[in-house]
Copies of this chain bind each other. A is one copy, B any other.
Amino acid sequence: METSFDCIPCFVRQSLDAARLATDDRSVQEQVLHVVLWRMSQMSLRQSPLVLAQQVHRLVRDLVGQADPYHEVKQRANALALELYPRLAEMVARSDDALETALRLAVAGNVIDLAVQGHVDREHVEGAISHALAAPFNGQAADLTRAISRAESILYLADNAGEIVFDRLLIERLSPGRVTVGVRGKPVLNDATLADAQATGLTDLVEVIDNGSDAPGTLLHDCSEAFQQRFEDAELVIAKGQGNYESLCHLRRDIFFVLKAKCTMIAAGLGCPVGSLVVRRSGQRTGET
């Protein structure tokens, strides 16, 4: 996916958000902006948005001297989601179609995304849950259900901290023995890492592997060989969130992208309205319903 120029102001905003999370010192915030503006002025702006974002966030972490400016934000997102978990698990258990309900809640969890929203609040998440339970799916949700029923191995690529608790609701319905969850290899934005999988109990349920990369998505060439092998071997890949969609949507293999279309660029790429619950099949069988 080529970077839309619309992503450029957004990356500037993200660098400011990250700097503010790291420090209240306005001089440091200004320095981060200056250096990010300068570095971006030297980059090709037609690179993949994930590559640009990876570079910008590496730079910000260097400048603020913190390996994980989003650490506390991720902890809060995990705590909020864990607080909601018992009620949501009961909702799934009591529903007529537990798999569909869990899928809807997994999409709802995708609103926990600081990269787009700038913040996480309970009211917003509750709103997303109500919306996800009622709104139509955009794409091939029935295809995903069929693929799930047949697959012997599933690689589930997680997206954000907090959101992975919502993913857990879905993973619990997938016969977890055949599921491996992939998380980012290093902290970037509020993306889920192994620490978040551990903190939210996901590692007790399934095997969780990290992809070795600090891109806020899945740039396969940047992932560890072990991860690339697991990606190739998986019969079914379920990829959560915009970052995974941006980085994998061009691949010629069967992937189901599960996300909420939160930004106008992604929604335009998917051909759906902003806010849609998306289950989109990619690769060689794109277009089947």
Q: Which residues of A contact B (CB under 8 A)?
A: 5-6, 8-10, 12-13, 16, 26, 29-30, 33-35, 37-38, 40-42, 45-46
Contacts and interface: CB of A to CB of B under 8 A. Distances in A.
Contacts of A16: 5-6, 8-9
Contact of A12 (B12, B29, B30, B35): B12
21 contacts: A5-B16, A5-B29, A5-B30, A6-B13, A6-B16, A8-B12, A8-B37, A9-B9, A9-B10, A9-B12, A9-B16, A12-B12, A30-B45, A30-B46, A33-B45, A34-B41, A34-B45, A35-B41, A37-B37, A37-B40, A38-B38
Specify the main secondary structure of chain A where it touches its partner: helix
Nearest to A27: B46
Contacts of A35: 41
Nearest to A13: B9
A29 B8 CA distance: 12
Q: Which 3 pairs of residues, A with B, have the shortest CB-CB distance?
A: A38-B41, A37-B41, A9-B13
A10 B41 CA distance: 16
A166 to B, nearest CB: 28
Contacts of A45: 30, 33-34
Given A37-B37, A38-B42, 15 more contacts: A5-B29, A6-B13, A6-B16, A8-B12, A9-B9, A9-B10, A9-B12, A9-B13, A9-B16, A33-B45, A34-B41, A35-B41, A37-B38, A38-B38, A38-B41
